[in-house]
Structure 1
């Protein structure tokens, strides 16, 4: 767990699932009377996979557990605890990638109208929403932003993503205005309530850095104020950012770089298009779509 946190810079959720997957495997070994991790062979791996499928787990869950154990054994190989990785040649079950949920432009416009921008917390909420939608960053990346990460002179944010990989993301005039207003006014008022100074951009009502959970609660309250019937979480804003970018003509490679995806396949799930966009393309492209 320390290796994942310190060397791999894994998110708390990733560490949580790795721990659960490894502990589940340990429990299986205990039930099978196996007490030495170096004694695991292909036969035992097959028995374990059978036990997972017998629990009627989804292919996605089984795939994740195999990946966790493969990484676990790779770590043990590195530290010379074992000499072979019994999960290295186990093929992952094919999983279907669902189309990510996203907000239509009309829905997200309602969110932009709910905050009281004369109030410090309202300024913060507006800046938070504008930043998430303008950049498509993860909630963990947003929570870690500090003042030094923003360069207003060229309109970019420096983000530290998974595995400590850094990337620059541009932002537009709406996000710039919201951030400038909040940083120069509301943020300073919130910071005055804290006992210690902080360089983090997004603060809670007591002037302390916002947590991931705090950001999720803010979005939930904004949705309630906007009277939207959809569930909105930070990752849905990331989905929305990618979908709107591609629908407006951005190329896949650019969106991949902005999202910080290592593999293009992770970005390709966003290549779905809305019905309106599909209709507009048809009407503008087909020779006999219009008179």
Structure 2
């Protein structure tokens, strides 16, 4: 695991990873609240980072993932959890909400629909129920 002095800000994997993602109002409020917290507690005015460690340094991904694993264990969640689960859950939720495949692909930076469908677009309980409901209403 890297220490904060060894941490490195890297570029995204692909050219489609560079994008502007619109956020809902509540997400913007949460980010603004977090930035205010950082400013008050750490005098942090750097807009490059939203989440800081207890020492006021940018939160390293490995540290974030470690905290997620600890929280999962403490809450008796028997899954291998990492930050990537939020991306997976986001795509699944967008799919459940009926968003088009193309709009989901653009949002998460996929250039190939096969990637989105194969990796992320699994059938959820709600989607299964919706299929049965639609068939019952024929």
Q: Same fold (TM over 0.5)?
A: yes
Instruction: Give the number of aligned pairs.
Output: 127
**Relative to 1, partners in 2 of residues 1:209 and 1:163: Cα closer, same or farther, differing over 3 Å?**
same
Question: Deviation digits for residues 64-100 of structure 1, max 9, x if unmatched?
Answer: xxxxxxxxxxxxxxxxxxxxxxxxxxxxxxxxxxxxx
Structure 2 counterpart of 1:174 = 26
Shift of 1:225: 4.7
* CA RMSD across the alignment: 2.7
- When the two structures are superposed, what TM-score results if normalisation uses the length of structure 2? 0.75
Candidates 146, 161, 179, aligned match of 2:12: 161
Give 1:257's match in structure 2, choosing from 93, 106, 119. 106
What residue ranges of structure 2 are gaps of 5+ in the alignment?
1-7
Structure 1: tracts of 5 or more residues without a match: 1-142, 145-159
Question: Which secondary structure state, in structure 1, belongs to the residue aligned with residue 20 of structure 2?
Answer: strand
Q: Given the two structures, how large is their TM-score scaled by the length of structure 1?
A: 0.39
In 1, Cα distance between the equivalents of 2:30 and 2:78?
A: 26
Partners of 1:198 and 1:209 within 8 A in 2: no
Structure with higher Rg: it is 1
Residue by residue over 1:164-216, the C-alpha shift from the partner in whole angstroms, topping out at 9 and shown as x without a partner, is 5520111123322221211112x114424x8xx74422211111111111221
More strand by share: 1
The answer to whether the aligner puts 1:280 opposite 2:130 as a matched pair is yes
**RCO higher in 1 or 2 (8 Å CA, sep ≥ 6)?**
2
